Structure 1
Amino acid sequence: MTLVATRELVERAAARGEGQGAFNVVHVETAEGLVAGAEAAGVPLILQISENCVKYHGGLEPIGVATLAIARAASVPVAVHLDHAELEELALAAVDLGFGSVMYDGAHLPYEQNVAATARVAQYAHERGAFVEAELGEVGGKDGAHAPGVRTDPGEARAFVEATGVDALAVAVGSSHAMTERSAALDLELITRLKSAVGKPLVLHGSSGVSDDLLVAAIKAGMTKINVSTHVNGFFTRGVRQYLDANPEVVDSRKYIQAGRDALVMESARMLTLFAKVHFAKVT
């Protein structure tokens, strides 16, 4: 009931046919609120630190060490993952720091270069016991870099996994990053085809833009790791805004940051439970 390997959580969820929530850390208070939500739900959690988050904090170590410490103190299993690293050296540094997994994102590269770079990261990580996620088929919406409507091809996905040796694959099936409305339409039939072709856990990025019902349907179709960032960030921000609106004279930042952190707890607990209930529904 502390820091655990990402492999343990993802493979457990895949074997049980349930979803494993992976929520993004922005700062220490995010990590604290998300873990409190997991503890309230009694459900495991993956805490994710993105390359953008690393840049915000001026380096991997400050936020990475803090997040690892929060995970170790948790009363439920918590893993720590590096999300969307486009720099190979950052992925290797996260492995060295003790992260249970890394996502190397070479989707911006030509296919052959993506394969070569991902394989290098996978070899380094596997030699040190870490789990590796990669991406094939661009997930739209992030800084305009990904073309809308792109989908992952099942045959290419199978070849990519075989060539790189990755443990999980993020695929493009209709979601987009940074959506503030939950209006994305997922291709459930494609998810099923990808699951059959790849034979590894699939990862859904851009889940903040997907409705509860469709997230459940995606898990049933074959998705395992469900990444959420913008949606829970919205709860944090609204919690801060509501506190400041009610207390305009406050100057102690801990008070309004605590309000934001507290606002994460129930929603993260609700979503983690939602993902896990797919399994529970199957066995009752």
Structure 2
Amino acid sequence: MSLVSTAELVGTAREKDAAVFAFNVISLEHAEAVAAGAERADVSAVLQISENAVRYHGGRLRPLADAALGVIREARVPLALHLDHVTSVELLRAAPEAGFSSVMFDASKLPYEENVRVTAQAVEWAHARGVWLESELGRVGGKEGEPPLDAHAPGARTDPAEAAAYVGETGVDALAVAVGSSHAMTERSAALDHGLIGRLRDAVPVPLVLHGSSGVPEGELRAAVAAGMRKINVGTALNVAYTAAVRAALAAAPREVDPRRYTRPGRDAMAETVADYLRLLDGV
């Protein structure tokens, strides 16, 4: 059986001073592409479904979760299923029954004290049901149509002392931190603060998570893992590959109406993108 827990994959990566990649899934094609890419690279990965993806599917979690689980169970490498950027308590509480071993509960837009309070409640609920819980401190930016946040803006980055206090007060299992990346970047131009990553690694006892990794160049990702990042989230890069392949297929056959003829190359492009990312950290 190829279904494993996110905690297991991240824990193994941490023991090896390595990292696990987590790829965002919006459709069945995304799930198939992540599994195919992981099999090509022969490396484990996490499939993650965001609250935005659930909203895209009419607010129904189970259809996409069931599809992703079906793909995972047929895969030839161990894969995990994670629920990402959850702000809804109702959605959080639907996660265990839907087959998720982990959730990223996102209260990062709230004032610090409120973030601590609601996240601690989420952790207590999740741990009582064996669910691993990730949260975020700092301002990664770029979600839900927002322009990418200036990662150098005052107050944008995660403070190590505050992160240590936050982890102690909430009991989270992993912490997403703001160190220079941003969600929804379509070009790989982000410059990370690797010194800050190292200070955060030393300050908190839990694995660090990098969101917005699609905008981070290869060398920067390798350095981030060497500095202490243990889970690397990728979403937009898959959509860039998929969209480019679909556009090319339709341009080559403008009268085509069978979606299998143009979504197949899109799915294949995403699978190769996944494999490229997984091969990137081989040996790191």
TM-score over 0.5 (shorter chain): yes
User: 2: CA distance between counterparts of 1:146 and 1:228?
Assistant: 15
User: 2: CA distance between counterparts of 1:145 and 1:128?
Assistant: 36
CA shift, 1:144, in A, is 3.0
Unaligned stretches of 5+ in structure 1? Answer: 279-284
Q: Counterpart of 1:252 in structure 2: which amino acid?
A: D
Unaligned stretches of 5+ in structure 2? Answer: none
What is aligned with 1:94?
95
1:241 aligns to 2:243 (yes or no) = no
- Residues 205-263 of structure 1 deviation map (CA, whole Å, 9 limit, x = unaligned): 01011000000000000001000011121111111111111111211112211110011
What is aligned with 1:121?
122
- Residues 154-209 of structure 1 deviation map (CA, whole Å, 9 limit, x = unaligned): 01101111111111000000001101111111000000000000121100001011
| TM-score (normalizing by structure 1) | 0.95
Name the % identity: 55
Q: How many residues align?
A: 278
User: 2: CA distance between counterparts of 1:91 and 1:195?
Assistant: 27
Contact 1:138/1:146 (<8 A) preserved:
no
Contact 2:149/2:182 (<8 A) preserved:
no
Contact 1:92/1:121 (<8 A) preserved:
no
What is aligned with 2:283?
277
Contact 1:41/1:273 (<8 A) preserved:
yes
CA shift, 1:42, in A, is 0.6
Q: Counterpart of 1:276 in structure 2: which amino acid?
A: D
User: 2: CA distance between counterparts of 1:250 and 1:145?
Assistant: 35
User: 1: CA distance between counterparts of 2:130 and 2:68?
Assistant: 19
What is aligned with 1:26?
26
CA shift, 1:147, in A, is 5.3
User: 2: CA distance between counterparts of 1:86 and 1:251?
Assistant: 38
Contact 2:237/2:273 (<8 A) preserved:
no
Higher helix content, 1 or 2:
1
Q: CA RMSD in A?
A: 1.3
1:195 aligns to 2:201 (yes or no) = yes
| TM-score (normalizing by structure 2) | 0.95
What is aligned with 2:222?
216
What is aligned with 1:154?
160
CA shift, 1:145, in A, is 8.0
User: 1: CA distance between counterparts of 2:160 and 2:71?
Assistant: 38
Q: How does 1:227-266 map to 2 (within 5 A)?
A: 227-266=233-272
User: 1: CA distance between counterparts of 2:81 and 2:238?
Assistant: 17
